[in-house]
Structure 1
Amino acid sequence: MQHTKDLYKKRDYNASLESASNSISLSKESLYYDHLPCLFLYQSRSFRRLKQYNEGKKSALSAIYWVDKTNNVDEVGDIYIELARNYKSLYQYDSAINHYKTAIYHLENKQDTIGLSIALNNLGAIHKIQGNYSKALKYYTKDLEINTEQDYKKDMIIALNNIGQVHFNTKSFNKAISFYERAESIAEEIDYPRGIASANSNIGAIYHQLKEADQALEKFYIALSLYKKQNNSYRICETYLNISNVLIMKEEYSVALSFIKKSQELSKEIKNHHILNKSYYIEGECYYNMGKYDQAIVLLKKAEQFYNEDHYTIEYRNILKHLHQSYIEKKNYKKAYHYLDKWLVVNEKINDLEQKKIIEDINSKFENKQQLLLIDQLNKQKELKEEKIIYQNRINLFLIMISLLLLAFLVFIYLINRKGRKTYKLIREQNHEILTIHSELMDSLKLASKIQRSIVEIPRDTKQALPEHFIFWKPLQEVSGDIYHIEKKDDYIFITLMDCTGHGAPASLLATLGVKTLSDIIDEGHVHPDEILEELDQRIDVESSLNKDISGMDVSILVYDILAKTISFAGAKRPLYFINENEPVYIKGTRRSIGETLFTPKKPFERHTFNITSDIKLYMYSDGFGDQFGGIHNKKYLEKNLRKFLFEHSHLPFEVQKDLLRKEYINWISPSEGISHKSIDDTLVIGFNFTV
C-alpha cells in the first residue's frame, strides 16, 4: 500500500494505478480487506488525475463499500471528498454537493481541518459556478475562519481570493478589492508567488470592469509572468483570455485575437474544456465588436453548448447577451428575442435581491467576528506590553546598579592617579599583574575553545551514518554561545542547534551545560524532539533556580528515524527550513525559549513529523547570520534573505554551499574596499541532505 502512495506522491499516476490494482487483487485473494478502502481511494485519485472521472467515481464508491464492510473509518472523509471531486469534474453538481456535505460530517468528527478546508472550498466553488453566490460566500467564509484559526497562510490566501470573486461577480468591487489586497499582502509576507499572481489577476479583473485598461493590463502581465515561472498552464490560459478582454475594450482586436489563439492552443494541450469554451465566447465577442456578426454567432453558439444557467452562470449570461446583440445587428428579431428572454431569466437569478441581502448579512457577521478577534488580539498585546514594561524595569534597575559600581570604580581610579609619581612603581606592578592575568585568561579561553570544539566533534560511528552535510560555525570570540550537537543512538540520529543568550565565555558555559544535559536526556531513551525540549527546559529551570546567572537559550532539534525514514522536528524559537522537490518549506519554532521564566503558563513545544519520500535538504541556523549588520547601507542581513540564499544554492554539493555561505558572510561585512563592519554575534548554520 505504501508503494502505491509513494508513486502517487511522485505524480506517476499510471504506475500508482497499476500498483493499486495489483494490491487490491492480492488483498482480495488473501482475504485481507483492511487496506482496501485506502487502495480504492488512491486508485480513484489516480483515475481523476488522468481525467478518467467515471472510473474514479466507481473506485471511490468501492472504497465506501469496503469502509462499511471493514468498519475502517480512518479515511472515510477523504474518500467522500474524492467521490465528490469526480462528480464535480463530471458536472454532476447535486451529487458532488451531497458527498462534500457527508465528507464534512466525518471530517468534523475527526477534527481534520485540512480536509474540512478542501470540502468547504469546493462547495463554495460549485455554488459560485451555479450562480448561488450567497451559499458560495457562506462556505468560503467558513473556510477562511478555519484557516485563520490554524494559521494556514496559503489556504487563507485562496479563501480571501474566493470571497473577493463572489463580491466581484455581484459587482461589489470595493469589497472585492479589499479581500484581494489582503490576499496579496499575506502572499508577499510568506513569499508565495502563486498567491501574489492570483491576487494581481483578480485585481486586474476589477480594473477591467472599471474600464481602467492600462492598470488592468499591468496587473495581468504581472500575473502572467509569475504563472509562467511556475509553469501553471491552466492559469496561463486564463490570463491570456483576461488580457484579450482588455485589448478588446481598447479596440486592439488583432492583438486580442493572438492572445485568444494562444489560450486555445494551450487549453487543447491540457484538455481543459472550460477555458477552451470560454475562449470561443471571448473570440465571438471580439468578432462582434469588429462587426463580423456571422463569425461571432458561430463561435458564441459553440460556447453556448458548454454553458447553462447552473454551469458557469456569469459566462452563460454574457454569451446570451452577445447572441441577442448579434441577431439584432443581423435583423433576425425572432432569435434576438429568444436570447433576450433567456438572458432576462439568468440575469434575474444573478441579481436576486434576496441573495444580495443574504450576502450582506454573511459579510456583516464575518466583519463583526474579525473585529472581535482584533479586540482580543489588542488586549493580549496590551498584557504582553505590560509584562515587557515590568521586565524592562528590572533591566533598568540592574543597569543603575552597574552604573553606580562603574562610578565607584572611576572614583577609585581617579584617587589612585592623584598620587602621581609616588604610586608609579605600584601602578607598573599592577599593570604587569594585569597583563599576566590577561595572558593567562587568553590561554584559558584558547583551551576552552579546544574543549568546546571537542564537545561538538561528531563521533566516528555517527559520522558514518550521517548524510551529506555542512556546518558553518563562526564564533564571535574564542568560545561560542551558538553550538551544535550531533549523535546517533540506536536507530535514531539527533541533530541539535543551540543559540544561547549573549556570546563569549558566559554564553559558552550555558551552551556546554545545555549539550551535557541534552546528551543525558537522549541517553535516557527520549526520542521525540518536543519531549526532549520539555525535559531540557525543566532541567535548565532547576539549574537557574540554583544559579541566577544562568539565562535562556533557543534550540532547534531534529530526530531522524533511520528505519522508518521519518524526520521529527521541534523548536524553541528556532525554525527548520527545508527544500523538498524544489519546494521551500519553513516551519517556525514554538514561541518559547529554554529556561524562560518571564511568561507563564508555558506554551507546549510543537512536534512536526514527515516522511522522506524524495531527496530533502534541511537547514537549521542561529540568529547570528540574519542579525549581522553589513552591506553598503549597514543594515541587517535578515533571515528571509538567508532562506532565499539557501534555496537558490540548494542544488549544489554541500561543501560548495558552505564555501558560498562563507563568501556571502565576508562580502556582507566587507561590501567594498574601505567599508568594513564588525561581527556582532556568534553565527551557526548547519545543513543536511537526506535521501530516500
Structure 2
Amino acid sequence: MRASVGFFIIITGIIGEVGAQTNQVVYEYDSIKMASLYARSRDQRIKNPELSLELGQEFLDMAKKSKNKAKEAVALENLARIFFNIGSYSRTLEYFFDVLRIAEEQGDSFNQAITLNNIGIVYGENGQLEKALEYYGKSLAIKEELGNQEAIVNTLSNIGLIYDELGEYEKGFDSYTKALNIDRKRQYVDGIFVSLNNLGQNFLKRGLYDSALVYFKESWNLGTTVENDYDKAHLLNNMAAAYLGKGKTTEAEEFYLRAIALAEKIKARLRLRESYLGLSRVYDVMSDYGKSLEFYKRYEYLKDSLFNEEKLQKINEIEADYKIKKKESEVNLIKKESEIQDLRRSQTRLVAYLLISCLFLFGTLIFVLYKRNQFKIKANKDLELKNNEILTKNIDIMDSIAYAKSIQESFLPDPRILNKFFTNSFIYYKARDVINGDFFWFADEEDYLIFAVVDCTGHGVPGALITVMGNSLLNEIVSEKRILYPSEILTELNYRVLHTLNQENYQGNNNEGMDVAIGRFDKGSMKLSFAGAKRPLYYFRDNHLHVIKGDSHSVGGTFYAKDRDYKEHEIYLNKNDTFYVFTDGYADQFGGENNKKFLPGRFKDLICEIQGDDMEKQREILDRKFRYWKGEREQTDDILVMGVLI
C-alpha cells in the first residue's frame, strides 16, 4: 500500500532563541548550523539518500548536545523520513516512536497526532493494515479535537487507502470524499489533486476503469499547478493500470513509460517498481514475452535491492564516520574559544555595522517594492484586457450553444402527440448542460403510437449531435421505410448507427451509441409492444410493479457484435394501469448525506410511492426529490422520464 498523502512535518522552530549566557555566540553558531544541516538533509532525501542521512545524523547529534527537545524531535522525524524513503521500515518506526515519546513528554497534542499518523503510514506500507488503522484512528481523534482541517484530510486519505487494501471500497470512498470536500472548501489544489487520484484508485481496485479514469483525468488536469512529482508518477501509473484494465495496451504502455521517465528523474524507486511490473503485464498482454520478462526482471531486482544489508552497513559506516568528524569539530571549537572571546569584545562594533547594513537593506527593499508595485499595476491592466477578451468569447460561445439548443428542441416531437393517445401523462426532461444528450421521440400512426426515450453517449455538444442523428434515423426507419415493430426498429437503428458512424469494421476511434426504450401502443386493442436496448419498462397493475427488462446490448458502439437481435415483449393494458420508460440519469445522480448514487433500487421505490397521484403531480414529486437529493452538487447526467396513465 502507498500513502497518497506523505508524512506531515513536525511543527517547531529550528533556529532557537539566543540566550544572554557567556556562550551566546557559540549557541548562535550552533543554531544556524543546525538549520543549515536540516535544510540540506531535507533537500537531498530523494535525490541523494546517503548524503541526506549523513547530514541528518549530524543534525541529530548537535540537537541532543544542545538538550533542545524540540530540535531533537525534528531531527528524529527527519531521519525517520529518510529511512522510509529507502525502505527500512524498522528503523523508520524506531525514530517515529522516539518522536512520539518526546511529544507526549512535552504535552504536545498536535505533534502527537502527526506522529501517530506517520506511524500508521509505515505500518500500512509494511502490510500491517489493522495496525495502520489503529494508529490512524488515534491520530484522527486528536486532529478532530484540535480542528486542524489540513491534518484531518491527511489522515482521512490514509484511512481510505487502508480500507481499499482490505477490500472495503465503500468505506474507502467515504473517507476520500470527506477529504476532497474539506480541500475544496479550503481551495487547496495539492490536496484536491491527491484526493481525486485516491478516488480514481478506489474505482481502479474495483475494476470500474471508466469511473477511475474520470477521477484520474480530473486529477491530472490540476497537475500543472502541483509540484509533487512523486505523486504525479503515482498518478501516471494508476492511469496506465486503468487503460490496461480496459484492454487499451497502447495507452497503458505510453503512461507507464511517462511514469518511468518522471520516477527516474526524481529517483523514486518505489514508483519505478510499480511501473516495471505494470509494463511487464502490458507486454505480456501484447504477447511480447521478451520485453515482458525484461521488465519483470527489473521489477524483481528493484524490489530486492530497495534496501539490503550492504546499504545498511554503508549507512552505519557513514554514521561512525560522522561521529569521528563530530569529535574533530568539538576539538576545533575548543581551539577557537579565544577567538570567540575576541568576537564578544567586538560585539558593539558588529552591532553598528549591522545597523548600517539594515538601513541599506531597508532602502533596497523600498526600491524593490516600488518597482514591484509598478509591475503589478501593468500586469493587472494586461490581465483586465485578457479577461475582457475571454468574457467576450464566452458570451459568443454561450450564444452559440443557446442557438444550438433551440435547433435541438425543434427536432423534438410535439408533446401533444402523446396527449392525443394518453390524456394523463408527463415527460420529465432535464439536461445536465444547456443542450441535452437524451431525447424523446413519437410517431403518430393514427390507430397506434410509436414512442421512444433515448440516452445517447456523452453530454452537452457531443451528446446533442448524436441526438440529432438518432432522431433523424428513427424518422427514416418508421416514416419512410415503414418498419413499425419495436424490435425491428431497434435492429434497423443499430445497423444505421454503425454505418453512419463508420463502426462496422470496428476500426474507428469512436464508440458512440445509444440506449433505447421503444414501444408501440395500439389504442384499439390496448396492446403495448416493447423492446429495449439496455433500458427497461416499468408498469403498474393493481398497485403491483412489473418490470420488463431490455436486452443487454446498446444500439451502435463497438463493444458488442455487429449483428444484434432485440426481443419484443407484448402486454395488454387495462384501465388505470401506468407505465414508465426512462434513461439512467436519475438513478446515476450523486447526492444524499454520503454523496452516493441514487441507484435503480431507490428509483424503483420512488415510482412505487407516487402511484395514486395524477401524472402532473408525479412529475413534480420526481423533480422535487431529485433537487433535494442532488443538493448543491453538480448534475451527473442528462435525465428523461416518461410516465403514462391508461
Q: Bin the TM-score by the shorter chain.
A: 0.3 to 0.5
Could you state the TM-score of these two structures normalised by the residue count of structure 1? 0.40
